[in-house]
Structure 1
């Protein structure tokens, strides 16, 4: 399979050079934002003035939402979810009895607007753009199902998962939904390879970028900025590698909130890459930009250049306890502490647990055969002594040799928090 020939940063610099030379397109990106990126790269003097706004149209139905959880279709019982506006975070302790896969009833929801209602019988996927050898092609759900299917167990995780710990642990607030550890879920996905669909559509050797777009409502901010439908480009090398057009989740058709009838699954990449309610895919011979790889999903802050990092791609390394926050556990009683650890870059090889705030560590028992892009369940016994507050810590190590750090370098939008989480509990008398 094709692998990435260069780092994400080098790829991004090349894209900027191509845009400056008139060989890229910024769809829905304000000129000032690209000028900021170009200026930081020393290219602003050659930047063209006009931006092309060529787009394809796709029809979908969705209503407006503004009430917490109103735009989500499935039930959101409080023992399972924490509702954040149009989003719903899974309470991590609710996963304790679910097995390795996350049931749809427990899977977190990240919506920019409202879950749309789409008729699968009339749904069509449009593949279009100058990166195709011929004209645009359409595929029905039956067409996708007629292609060889692939089943893959993988997590989908929001780039901002654990964002709240920048504030609570590092005293460095970040903007965005205040997720703790529950903006992740692991499922068994089944679908067609994007590579098969692109080749069937007539992929040209000139293609460099692929941009899926969803059928949910246009994303309009509180100040009235309309960013259009959610869309985010990826290099054709990723599209041809391991990306699926998934139509099943855990052996059932995709639930409405999770992308029905078809969604993108980009294993190991940040969740925004796995576009839900897929409507069309542009295949381009020039690099593409959207707000979701310029304004959003880059790292900004004192530790980063003014234009921010390269667009985020691969997720990071985390672990978490399946235990309520501030739980009370009886003293002098044997408890079985459980949790999960995951990495986008390697298999989980070790999880260590501290029950004394980090003064000492011991290895937990791993319960799953680990592989990159999924998670591993772990457990360890603990018999607490004297009553009082305690901080429980877990830290994971993956097969690349990387271990969770004590702190994460701050970024203003709170992405990719990977530090050890300090989980407060009380030992009761």
Structure 2
């Protein structure tokens, strides 16, 4: 089992994203299964704010709906562990306290576009096809993948909209989409076959430019338009680098809600890249388009060009306390505050905590060394003396030298919130 893989340089990913944006705007990108006029209509109906987020979801910051069961999720969702958000389940941060570095599968967040399919591993197969291959492509069963050299990585998967509700509650903005707080993330130990090994065995040629995995969950329909199976292209360079076709999570077969029997893992990229229940991989000698890499999962708003930003790839920098929102803390007692910080640009090297509204900051104690694709756990003590409302704050600095800002630049879909969070508490 091999545990270390080289990483694609962020500059290469940025160049790829910009090329694909230009090709889409010029009408050069291939659009399999969805008419471009339909996508433009859907995009226009959402007011440029991103139709996937705008359709069927309350604006972030709106009054929460009454608790209800999540549609189409298989595993139990006890309220002490999860907050239900439509077809999704957000992990409650206090449920991660004392769980260790890895997120247990029973506490790992669930992001579904439709419903979790329950698939038979013995009948599952992966079709690899396209004009970027020589010959007629190939098909792999689970045993075929397990016969290949395995690769393992401890890595986070995080929804691009994680923290979306904070655009409204902290910054007074209006955004569309599922109103995640900060619990749409988890770190697991993933093991599987390298996607690069599978592509080479399928006959990858030097003409290939894009690789697009597709999921086996139900096709996604928005505003009467069938967008097909969830799918998102990757550059060949990334696919050959550190991407895994994972069949294990924390040493066990993948649970149904997390991609059983096989999912894609794209370390440090936005969660939509890590396609669950993968059953199809198209390898193309031409640029590929899907709704999930051009019309959606881009940044729109007054701070961005009218056509939007490049497609999102790497995740951003965040911190969260393992503390209930609006927790009550006793005055005159010493409290141990714990939390976790992570970055898509590399490991987190320092975390600071403020207990006086950001006036002063002090270093938190790190429990982990900086880890690419993962997070660090940290702690700090606080002895509040004065009763009343307060907030605690944490800000991280990653190995690239970037520190969490005081405010995130607004975007209409509420993606990539990275500002320092004002976590409210009451001292009593």
2:397, 2:238 → 1: CA distance? 25
Aligned to 2:60: none
Aligned to 2:237: 237
* 8 Å CA contact retained: 1:8, 1:311: no
1:45-99 Cα offsets, whole Å, 9 max, x none, are xxxxxxxxxxxxxxxxxxxxxx741300000000000000100000011100211
Q: 1:230-379 to 2 correspondence within 5 Å? A: 230-379=230-379
1:33, 1:300 → 2: CA distance? 19
1:380, 1:199 → 2: CA distance? 48
TM-score (ref. length: structure 1): 0.89
* 8 Å CA contact retained: 2:389, 2:427: yes
1:203-260 Cα offsets, whole Å, 9 max, x none, are 0100000000000001112x32211110000100100010000000000000000000
1:218, 1:246 → 2: CA distance? 22
Q: 1:173-188 to 2 correspondence within 5 Å? A: 173-188=174-189
Deviation at 1:20, TM superposition (A): 7.7
1:302, 1:168 → 2: CA distance? 20
Q: 1:190-209 to 2 correspondence within 5 Å? A: 190-209=191-210
The alpha-carbon distance between structure 1 residues 29 and 305, as it changes in their structure 2 partners (threshold 3 A), is farther
* 8 Å CA contact retained: 2:316, 2:345: yes
1:21, 1:348 → 2: CA distance? 39
* 8 Å CA contact retained: 1:8, 1:310: no
Deviation at 1:299, TM superposition (A): 0.3
Aligned to 2:148: 147
* 8 Å CA contact retained: 1:9, 1:309: no
**1:405 is paired with a residue of what secondary structure?**
coil
- Superposition misfits of 4+ residues, deviation over 2 angstroms: 1-24, 27-36
1:378, 1:282 → 2: CA distance? 42
* 8 Å CA contact retained: 2:21, 2:294: no
Is 1:424 the counterpart of 2:416? The answer is: no
Could you tell me which runs of 5 or more consecutive residues in structure 1 were left unpaired when the two chains were aligned: 37-66
Aligned to 1:157: 158
2:25, 2:257 → 1: CA distance? 39
1:21-60 Cα offsets, whole Å, 9 max, x none, are 8864112444248879xxxxxxxxxxxxxxxxxxxxxxxx
**1:288 is paired with a residue of what secondary structure?**
coil
2:12, 2:18 → 1: CA distance? 10
1:375-397 Cα offsets, whole Å, 9 max, x none, are 10000111111100001000000
Aligned to 1:62: none
Find the partner of 1:15 among 11, 20, 32: 20
1:301, 1:19 → 2: CA distance? 19
Deviation at 1:13, TM superposition (A): 4.2
Aligned to 1:27: 32
Deviation at 1:370, TM superposition (A): 2.0
2:137, 2:32 → 1: CA distance? 19
1:4, 1:347 → 2: CA distance? 15
Aligned to 2:95: 94
* 8 Å CA contact retained: 2:8, 2:238: yes
1:303-331 Cα offsets, whole Å, 9 max, x none, are 11111111000001101100000000000
Could you tell me which runs of 5 or more consecutive residues in structure 2 were left unpaired when the two chains were aligned: 1-5, 42-67
Is 1:167 the counterpart of 2:168? The answer is: yes
TM-score (ref. length: structure 2): 0.89
Aligned to 1:63: none
1:150-178 Cα offsets, whole Å, 9 max, x none, are 11000000000000000000000210000
Alignment length (residue pairs):
397
* 8 Å CA contact retained: 1:2, 1:240: no
2:240, 2:131 → 1: CA distance? 17
**2:146 is paired with a residue of what secondary structure?**
helix
* 8 Å CA contact retained: 2:345, 2:400: yes
* 8 Å CA contact retained: 1:25, 1:286: yes
* 8 Å CA contact retained: 1:33, 1:295: no
2:83, 2:185 → 1: CA distance? 13
* 8 Å CA contact retained: 2:34, 2:228: no
Aligned to 1:79: 80
The alpha-carbon distance between structure 1 residues 294 and 28, as it changes in their structure 2 partners (threshold 3 A), is farther
2:236, 2:128 → 1: CA distance? 14
1:421, 1:2 → 2: CA distance? 30
Deviation at 1:368, TM superposition (A): 1.0
